[in-house]
């Protein structure tokens, strides 16, 4: 369990570091990916709604404390995104290897849209409507593009940190 | 592997986490920069700053390479310059050439520091804001170096200081700087060669927008826009006058004078910005 918590913290800190350094120069049509959304959804797919919600909350809170905006909005968004993605994974029966990519794309778009609505209601969003739409779609696309790289990576990391290894014969 | 869980406990967990999030939002909203949450934020940033600095040192050449690639399409029609750019890129990959460039940038900045404000604090850009909704950078100097909130931040060459932004948050060893392109940013400015003055406001990844005050001034485009010095009740403005903000890129005509504005292309390339000066004294640029 401790090992698991440590692994999650390392994953979140690494993603935050990359998000705030490398991806400033690696933009897709002027937009950066949202790595916190990406790792939350991937962990939710791998581990279910419980872990999805917890990881989302932790990742969101971490991101909130790095922003100069009211804290808590990302935590709220990602808790719900993680829970929803975990639930969705349980109900969708599909062997398609594209499934994580699609879930990440849809989940990110829904999450970013939700974030902007909450920020707008709190009077914190200064963006134009067209920018809001563009950011929602492009981050979703960017996250989806990154999924084939991040998903296998996170799966190995997460499975390596499971408390009990399942031995199959 | 999805373990079988009791859905009820999961739902309880989600409700609990959502409640905590809402409590955090409310607390932070009410207390602003003074509450315990702001303290946690400062602590978190102090922990991240050294790591961000380390990562930036390692990936900067790589990032510059990709950022250069991103700029290539706009140069497609200028074949000659494209080749040049390519050569420059190749040169940049070689680390000694890269270091030389860094050295030259730093020399320029130190010379600018001597002429602009000898007490200003030079700093290294170690990270950028993590969200698509705010435009900030993090620098490697903080309150230990005498940096305070609201101090203006500049870059540029000797004799031509350019406005980068202003400090919005300070930890002992790092500070966050809001860039002039942030949508929360506004600065009083004048247009070169005219009596025109107005407010320049950030528009995110689009050009800045400057509302015009004067009537009937002809602005042709390409004029430089500088910060304006002003005094209200004997209190000087935040920025020293005469710092370059950018060039007029487009004029928007409107029937109503109050709706007229010009678009200003920022002079600073924020994607490749490495060194900045945090101004301490209120001096003329």
Above 0.90 for ipTM, yes or no?
no
8 Å CB contact between A82 and A40: yes
Q: Judge if B64 and B156 occupy the same domain.
A: yes
CATH class of A2-159: mainly alpha
Residue among A18, A66, A115 with most chain B CBs within 10 A, to mutate: A66
Same domain, B79 and B48: yes
Residue B119 to residue B164: CA distance in whole angstroms = 18
List helix spans (H) across A48-72.
Answer: 49-66
Residues of chain B with pLDDT > 90, as a percent, come to: 5
- Beta pairing class for B121-128 and B275-278: antiparallel
B176/B185 Cα distance (integer angstroms)? 14
Q: Do B14 and A79 touch (CB under 8 A)?
A: yes
- The SS3 of residue B139 is strand
Question: Does B210 map to a domain?
Answer: yes
Q: Are residues B57 and B93 in the same domain?
A: yes
Residue of A19, A47, A126 lying closest to B183 (CB–CB): A126
B24–chain A nearest CA distance, Å: 5
Please report whether residue B59 resides in a domain: yes
The shortest CB-CB distance from A80 to any of B18, B25, B132 is to B18
Statement to judge: residues B111 and B210 lie in one domain: no
Burial B154-190 (b: 16+ CB within 10 A, else e): bbbeeeebbbbbbbbbbbebbbbbbbbbbbebebbbb
Asked if residues A53 and B14 have their Cβ atoms less than 8 Å apart, the reply is yes
CA–CA distance, A127 with A116 (Å, rounded to integer): 9
Task: Tell me how far apart the alpha carbons of residues B188 and B201 are, in angstroms, rounded to a whole number.
Answer: 9
CA–CA separation, B257 and B241 (whole Å): 26
Residue B1 is assigned to a structural domain of this protein: no
B:122-161 residues touching chain A, CB 8 A cutoff: 126-134, 136, 138
**A 70-129 residues inside an 8 A Cβ radius of B:** 70-73, 75-76, 79-80, 83, 89-90, 116, 119, 122, 125-127
Residue B140 sits in a domain of what CATH number?
Answer: 2.40.10.340
Whether residue B278 is predicted with pLDDT greater than 70 in this model: the reply is yes
Do B92 and B117 lie in one domain? The reply is yes
Q: B13, A50 in Cβ contact below 8 A?
A: yes
Residue carrying structure tokens 């905006």 = A69
Whether the predicted pLDDT of A77 surpasses 90: yes
Least confident segment among B115-124, B147-156, B177-186, B250-259: B250-259
Identify whether residues B122 and B224 lie together within a single domain: no
Residue B195 belongs to a domain: yes
Q: Is the pLDDT of residue A60 over 60?
A: yes
Q: Give A25→chain B minimum CA distance, Å.
A: 5
Cα Rg of chain B (Å, integer) = 22
Best mutation target among A68, A69, A112 (most B Cβ atoms within 10 Å) is A68
Q: For testing the chain A interface, which of B17, B42, B59 should be mutated: the one with the most A CBs within 10 Å? A: B17
Same-domain pairing of B126 and B174: yes
What pLDDT sits at residue B57?
Answer: 79
Pick among A71, A109, A135 to test the B interface (most B CBs inside 10 A): A71
CATH number at residue B206: 2.40.10.350
| Calpha distance A77→A121 (Å, rounded) | 14
CA B192 to chain centroid, in Å, comes to 23
What residues of chain A lie within 8 A of the CB of B126, using their CB?
21
Q: What predicted TM-score, i.e. pTM, was given to this entire model?
A: 0.79
Q: Verify that B45 and B93 share a domain, yes or no.
A: yes
Residue of A nearest to B170 (CA): A68
Within 13 A of A106's CA, how many CA atoms are on the CB side? 11
Domain boundaries, chain A: 2-159
Residue B192 resides in a domain? yes
* Residue B77 is assigned to a structural domain of this protein: yes
What values do phi and psi take at A95, rounded to 5? -85, 0
Q: How far is CA B126 from the centre of its chain?
A: 12
Cα dihedral sign, B55-B73-B224-B236:
negative
Same domain, B139 and B105: yes
Q: Do B44 and A16 touch (CB under 8 A)?
A: no
Residues B158 and B192 reside in one and the same domain: no
Q: With CB atoms and an 8 Å threshold, state whether B2 touches A47.
A: yes
Which residues constitute the domain of residue B190? 186-266
B2/A90 Cβ within 8 A: yes
| Residue A109's pLDDT band (cuts 50, 70, 90) | very high
Q: What percentage of chain B reaches a pLDDT higher than 70?
A: 78
Condensed to tens digits (0 to 9), the pLDDT of residues B176-225 reads: 999 998 888 888 888 887 777 888 888 887 888 888 766 666 677 778 88
Asked if residue B274 and residue B258 are part of one domain, the reply reads: no
Asked if the structure places residue B283 within a domain, the reply is no
**End-to-end Cα separation, chain A, in angstroms:** 25
Q: CA of B10 to nearest chain A CA: how many angstroms apart?
A: 5
Q: What's chain A's average pLDDT?
A: 87
- Whether residue B273 has pLDDT greater than 80: yes
* Biggest CA pair distance of chain A: 58
Average pLDDT over residues B227-250: 78
On whether residue B259 sits in a domain, the answer given is yes
Cα–Cα distance measured from residue A71 to residue A55, given in angstroms and rounded to the nearest whole number = 17
pLDDT(A24) > 80: no
Three-class SS of residue B251?
strand
Cα distance between residue B268 and residue B182, in whole Å: 13
Nearest to B21 among A66, A79, A122 (CB): A79
The pLDDT mean for chain B works out to 78
- Number of domains, chain B: 2
Tell me, yes or no, whether B148 and B58 share the same domain: yes
Residue B71: band (very low, low, confident or very high) from pLDDT cuts 50, 70, 90: low
Burial bucket for residue B70 (CB in 10 Å: 0-12, 13-18, 19+): middle
């Amino acid at each position: 369990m401790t090992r698991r918590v440590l692994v999650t913290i390392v994953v979140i800190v690494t993603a935050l570091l990359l998000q705030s350094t490398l991806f400033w120069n690696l933009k897709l049509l002027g937009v950066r990916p949202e790595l916190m959304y990406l790792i939350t959804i991937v962990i939710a797919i791998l581990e279910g709604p419980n872990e999805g919600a917890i990881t989302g909350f932790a990742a969101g809170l971490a991101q909130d404390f790095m922003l100069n905006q009211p804290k808590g909005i990302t935590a709220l968004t990602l808790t719900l995104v993680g829970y929803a993605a975990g639930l969705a994974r349980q109900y969708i029966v599909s062997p398609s290897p594209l499934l994580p990519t699609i879930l990440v794309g849809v989940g990110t778009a829904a999450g970013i849209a939700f974030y902007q609505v909450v920020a707008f209601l709190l009077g914190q969003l200064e963006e134009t409507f067209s920018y809001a739409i563009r950011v929602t779609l492009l981050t979703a696309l960017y996250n989806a593009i990154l999924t084939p790289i991040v998903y296998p990576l996170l799966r190995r990391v997460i499975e390596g940190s499971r408390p009990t290894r399942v031995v199959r014969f | 592997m999805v373990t079988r869980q009791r859905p009820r406990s999961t739902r309880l967990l989600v409700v609990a986490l959502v409640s905590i999030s809402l409590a955090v939002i409310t607390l932070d909203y009410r207390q602003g920069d003074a509450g315990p949450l702001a303290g946690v934020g400062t602590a978190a940033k102090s922990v991240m700053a050294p790591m961000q600095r380390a990562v930036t040192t390692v990936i900067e050449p790589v990032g510059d390479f990709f950022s250069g690639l991103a700029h290539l399409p706009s140069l497609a029609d200028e074949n000659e310059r494209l080749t040049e750019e390519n050569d420059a890129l190749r040169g940049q990959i070689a680390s000694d050439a890269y270091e030389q460039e860094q050295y030259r940038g730093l020399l320029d900045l130190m010379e600018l520091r001597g002429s602009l404000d000898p007490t200003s604090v030079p700093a290294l850009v170690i990270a950028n804001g993590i969200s698509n909704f705010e435009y900030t950078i993090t620098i490697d100097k903080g309150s230990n170096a005498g940096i305070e909130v609201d101090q203006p931040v500049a870059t540029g060459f000797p004799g031509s200081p350019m406005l980068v932004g202003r400090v919005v948050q300070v930890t002992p060893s790092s500070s966050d700087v809001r860039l002039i392109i942030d949508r929360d940013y506004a600065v009083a400015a004048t247009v070169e060669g005219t009596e025109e003055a107005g407010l320049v406001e950030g528009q995110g990844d689009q050009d800045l927008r400057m509302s015009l005050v004067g009537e009937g001034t002809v602005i042709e485009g390409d004029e430089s826009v500088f910060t304006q010095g002003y005094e209200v009740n004997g209190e000087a403005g935040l920025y020293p006058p005469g710092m370059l903000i950018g060039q007029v890129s487009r004029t928007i005509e409107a029937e109503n004078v109050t709706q007229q504005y010009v678009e200003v292309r920022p002079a600073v390339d924020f994607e490749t910005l490495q060194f900045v000066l945090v101004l301490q004294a209120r001096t003329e640029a």
